[in-house]
Amino acid sequence: MATDTMVRKTSGRQTKGLTFNPTRPAWKEPVSPLYQAIKAVVLGLITLSIVLPILLVVSTSLADDQQLVAAGGYVLWPTHPTLQAYQAIFSGQFMFRALGVSAVVTAVGTVLALFVTITMAYATSRPVLFGRPVLLMVLFTLLFAPGLIPMFLMVKQLGLLDTLWSLILPGIFGAFNFVVMRSFFMNIPQELIEAARIDGASDVKILWKIVLPLSKAVVAVVGLFYAVGFWNAFFNAMLYINDQTKFPVQLVLRNYVVQGGGLADQLGIASTPPPQSMQMAIVVVALLPILLVYPFLQKHFNKGVITGAIKG
């Protein structure tokens, strides 16, 4: 990506019109307005198809009764924004608890996952005793999956059913994240590590003082991947959790929005705000954390952390 933009920048010349960034190479023929227009329409429609549903949901969750009724259930822009739907869903313990469960699972899960992934990736990134067989042990997981029922029996056997550990432990290691992390570690100049060894640093110290400070970007990306994964998981909860007080947000979303369960009954309130806006409020609660961390995730995409690992 870097060389690509460099070529364009050095051989660019000034153009006017639709392009904001005048980096067109001299040899490129000018684009016809028709072609340009078609492209703009295609890009516009794609953007709209993604932005519109999200806007619709956020706006409807904030709209007041009168506007909702007048508009027939949906609004694209709330004229008198109100938080009554949010007050309603957070009126009982139910939604707070769900949010708490999701937050704990995500936080604890991400920390444990980073610990397991970093240690494993570093230990197999150099030629050490048992390094090769352990690496093959990981790579085999890409080929085969144990299957849903044996996993369920295992979680049951470990006594994790109906505990938050059943949502955390099965997800604390992912082969893809391991590969990303390991290939990053392997690209760290070996001279640095060798020098530290000669100076008598232990492997743990090398990892902590030399490798990790150089790997902040990949740790951030992999950590965010794990966090998003834990936050988004719903099937684990459906499989392992029966106790309603341990439902994460995604399962609440599934039960009361996708399946359309009686939300007002569950919350123990008379449905004062229209059910539609309460449902939308739950959707927003599930969506918001992703939207908040997304800019941080996005920042690293173009640094080649992920694509480098995929290609390498």
CB of 147 to other proteins, least distance (A): 4
CB of 257 to other proteins, least distance (A): 5
**Residue 148 CB neighbour total at 10 angstroms:** 10
- What is the C-alpha to C-alpha distance for residues 204 and 202, in angstroms, rounded to an integer? 6
Cβ closer to other proteins: 68 or 88? 68
Cβ closer to other proteins: 101 or 280? 280
Do 22 and 8 touch, CB atoms closer than 8 A?
no
- What is the C-alpha to C-alpha distance for residues 249 and 167, in angstroms, rounded to an integer? 13
Cβ closer to other proteins: 146 or 213? 146
Cβ closer to other proteins: 83 or 158? 158
CB of 105 to other proteins, least distance (A): 13
CB of 87 to other proteins, least distance (A): 21
User: What one-character-per-residue DSSP string does 19-84 give?
Assistant: -SS--EETTSPPPPHHHHHHHHHHHHHHHHHHHHHHHHHHHHHH--HHHHHHHTS--SS-SS---H
CB of 272 to other proteins, least distance (A): 19
Which residues make Cβ contacts (< 8 Å) with residue 9, sequence separation at least 6?
Answer: 23
Cβ closer to other proteins: 72 or 213? 72
CA 291 distance to own-chain centroid: 9
- The residue assigned the tokens 């198809």 is 49
Cβ closer to other proteins: 269 or 297? 297
Strand partners, 13: 24
- The residue assigned the tokens 């990949």 is 218
CB of 230 to other proteins, least distance (A): 11
- What is the C-alpha to C-alpha distance for residues 207 and 198, in angstroms, rounded to an integer? 15
